[in-house]
Amino acid sequence: MDAIVSVDATSAKRVEQPRNAAERLAQLVYEDMRLVDALILERMQSHVTLIPDLARYLIEAGGKRVRPMITVACANMLGYRDEAPLKLAAAVEFIHTATLLHDDVVDKSGMRRGQQAANLIWGNASSVLVGDFLFARSFTLMVEAGSMKALGVLSSAASTIAEGEVRQLAAIKDIGVSVETYMAIIGAKTAALFAAAAQVSGIVAERPLAEEMALETYGRELGLAFQLVDDALDYSGREAALGKTVGDDFREGKVTLPVALSIKQAGSRDGGEDEARFWTRTISEGDQLDGDFDIALSYMRENGALSATLQAAHDHATRAREALAIFPKNKWRMTLEDLADFVVERAY
Amino acid sequence: MDAIVSVDATSAKRVEQPRNAAERLAQLVYEDMRLVDALILERMQSHVTLIPDLARYLIEAGGKRVRPMITVACANMLGYRDEAPLKLAAAVEFIHTATLLHDDVVDKSGMRRGQQAANLIWGNASSVLVGDFLFARSFTLMVEAGSMKALGVLSSAASTIAEGEVRQLAAIKDIGVSVETYMAIIGAKTAALFAAAAQVSGIVAERPLAEEMALETYGRELGLAFQLVDDALDYSGREAALGKTVGDDFREGKVTLPVALSIKQAGSRDGGEDEARFWTRTISEGDQLDGDFDIALSYMRENGALSATLQAAHDHATRAREALAIFPKNKWRMTLEDLADFVVERAY
């Protein structure tokens, strides 16, 4: 086997000595993901050159392609080799990329995937329209995959994502957001696409409903774990590892789980008044001073909100792993199981 | 028959004495459009209340529902009575509404359908996300309609629309935009959806390819005529009739056909230097003074650009009418033919 092989303009990499579950998965799906990446590059083309220019900027920026890898790996776990899961995998990545482009406009984020966000270079209007283009193309790919049921699942996931984003928007600066509300938000904005990415492989492989639902659960729980780790990293991570700006959530007044948990305990324990006032001022009133982010981080380390968030991520990852128990124990299943653990490990 | 019957929160109206082709069409499709409107209202629902609030604001604002009416009327012309064209009609209106929401963000327009644009009330972020929601729901409706081929046509139209919008964005303030480029832009951003709206009725009715293509041509030519009239009205129209601000295109520096034609003749005739400088200053440099819009309008009346735009609209309407010649001459066909004429007449 070659040493690390770089494929032009794709993220599919052959890794000689995989160091973790993500790299093992990438190695297993290497050939399939080359095909998925080729599809992605082909279908983001347009005679309107700004579209591939902008799409390439984001798509080549080293996104992890976690979602399409899940579709491809689940299909392989089921022993199903066909073009359909590859097309659906590319469609899933297009939906995700469209969401990122629109998110950048919505969030006014400065960095994405380790580089300046696309809307800062091309403008909001282009980000909105190129997102629309990729979203439309994702459905063309789904049509080619030929499964009306898979189309229904992915279109439903797409409207659920939008619902989750709208709820998150409404929850900004709202220190009344409960843990339950927050979990519903990320269940919609993040976990729905992970769930669909896994489920559609079972649909095109025409597996029994119990297996299709087990795949859906795997994707959903993995997505929840993934998002919770992201939320913790937005406070405790390093920018290089995160690929976006640390502290974005805090500056935007997003009430993620670490904040919701901090607010909850500060309101209920004796002597929590100072901390409660801190969260009201910085999140609810949006009145942030230099050094406030570091204070937020130290509160979260003291009050246990960060470790509780990672514990919740760990619990969801365990449920993802357990959902695969009904499938034959092959190398694909084992790697998908390991991936669930890895998602949480990357937080440490 | 009742006098004008108002259906709650829908635009389907029963008209006792139709005064023009649009009203005759509305009368013919009245029962079907009640069902389409009910579908639209049902499918824009979400437990996230901002979504139906914002969607309703736009959908109930008295959009003309021209596109879904075309789908429904074409299906009736073919003698095809089924749920599928109704679902596709609702899907077409959702795609259109999503496009309007995103357009408002892109264009920064102040008025839409005779009222303040949604993004000025709810903010750009909500307009982007609710647009995404409606777009996703449109595909769920298409899945229910059950035709993979119709899904392919509409998803392709949706990516073409985005391409047209991006090209239009790049053409802002560009006085080098040719008549041909402009026609390609509106072919994509407007006519593609009209074409698909008509074509899908032939697809679900399983008509021969020649008929499907004739429907596509009808929609495309009607869409071109419709957009050209809109472009003329943006200079010569009255705000009440237009439902949006007159002069928006001028203020945004959009090179629509009246502007492209004005620039072309000013550059080629003797004594056109003053007018050429005017267009360079107001469109290319975006340097507009009070009274410039009136000067633009009087230039367009003098140089014949407005009448040439309406003549082009008339020619496209004639081609739309002629495309229907292969179908049996029933009341549906005659009304669709009249609609093509009406689209142009509303400019006078």
Question: pLDDT at position A26, please?
Answer: 87
Question: pLDDT at position B6, please?
Answer: 33
Residues of A in Cβ contact (< 8 Å) with B135:
132, 135, 158
Residue A2 has pLDDT above 50, yes or no: no
Residues A155, B139: C-beta atoms closer than 8 Å:
yes
Partner A contacted by B135 (CB < 8 A): yes
In eight-state DSSP terms, residue B244 is S
- ipTM for the predicted complex: 0.92
- Helix intervals (H) in chain A: 21-28, 30-43, 50-59, 66-77, 83-107, 118-122, 124-145, 148-171, 179-186, 192-204, 209-236, 239-242, 248-252, 257-268, 273-279, 292-303, 305-323, 331-345
CATH number of the CATH domain containing B267 = 1.10.600.10
pLDDT digits (tens, 9 = 90+) for A247-280: 889 999 999 999 999 999 998 888 899 999 999 9
Question: pLDDT at position A244, please?
Answer: 62
pLDDT digits (tens, 9 = 90+) for A180-194: 999 999 999 999 999
**Planar angle of CA B143, A196, A36, nearest 5 degrees:** 95
Question: pLDDT at position A312, please?
Answer: 97
Residues A124, B124: C-beta atoms closer than 8 Å:
yes
- Residue A159 in contact with residue B137, Cβ under 8 Å? yes
- Between CA A72 and CA A200 the distance in angstroms is 10
Write out the two tokens for A224.
């929840």
Residue B137 has its nearest CB partner, among A106, A159, A170, at A159
Strand partners, B116: B111
Strand partners, B111: B116
Q: Which of B222, B170, B173 is nearest to B196 (CA)?
A: B222
B252 CB-contact burial (10 Å; exposed 0-12 / middle 13-18 / buried 19+): middle
User: Could you say which residues of chain B have pLDDT below 70?
Assistant: 1-16, 62, 108-113, 239-244, 347-348
Chain B 85-104, CB below 8 Å of chain A: which residues? 98-99, 102
- Between CA A16 and CA B168 the distance in angstroms is 48
Question: pLDDT at position B290, please?
Answer: 93
Chain B residue closest to A137 (CA)? B159
pLDDT digits (tens, 9 = 90+) for A8-34: 334 555 666 788 888 888 899 999 999
- Between CA A72 and CA A198 the distance in angstroms is 8
Partner B contacted by A146 (CB < 8 A): yes
Partner B contacted by A50 (CB < 8 A): yes
- Between CA B40 and CA B34 the distance in angstroms is 10
- Residue B219 in contact with residue B198, Cβ under 8 Å? yes
* Boundaries of domain holding B184: 5-345
Question: pLDDT at position A167, please?
Answer: 94
Q: Mind telling me how many Å the CA of B162 is from chain A's nearest CA? A: 5
- Looking up tokens 């919740």 gives A312
Q: Mind telling me how many Å the CA of B107 is from chain A's nearest CA? A: 8
Question: pLDDT at position A1, please?
Answer: 30
Mean pLDDT of the region A110-124: 77
Q: Which of A128, A124, A145, A119 is nearest to A57 (CA)?
A: A119
Instruction: Pick A122 or A324 by higher pLDDT.
Output: A324
Q: Which of B189, B182, B129 is nearest to B157 (CA)?
A: B189
Residues B128, A47: C-beta atoms closer than 8 Å:
no
User: Could you tell me the pLDDT band of residue A155, with boundaries at 50, 70 and 90?
Assistant: very high
| Residues contacting B330, CB < 8 A, separation 6+ | B77
User: Could you tell me the pLDDT band of residue A246, with boundaries at 50, 70 and 90?
Assistant: confident
Total domains in chain B come to 1
Residues of A in Cβ contact (< 8 Å) with B132:
98-99, 102, 131, 135, 158, 161-162, 165
**Planar angle of CA A71, A76, A80, nearest 5 degrees:** 100
pLDDT digits (tens, 9 = 90+) for A161-177: 999 999 999 899 999 99
Mean pLDDT of the region A74-83: 97
Residue A321 has pLDDT above 70, yes or no: yes
Ranking A237-246, A281-290, B5-14, B228-237 by mean pLDDT, the lowest is B5-14
In eight-state DSSP terms, residue A191 is I
Tell how strand B115-116 and strand B13-14 pair up.
unpaired
Residues of A in Cβ contact (< 8 Å) with B139:
139, 151, 155, 158
Question: pLDDT at position B9, please?
Answer: 38
Q: How many CB pairs under 8 A join A and B?
A: 137
Mean pLDDT of the region A214-241: 91
Residue A345 has pLDDT above 90, yes or no: no
- Between CA A122 and CA A139 the distance in angstroms is 25
- Between CA B92 and CA B86 the distance in angstroms is 10
- Looking up tokens 């440099």 gives B285
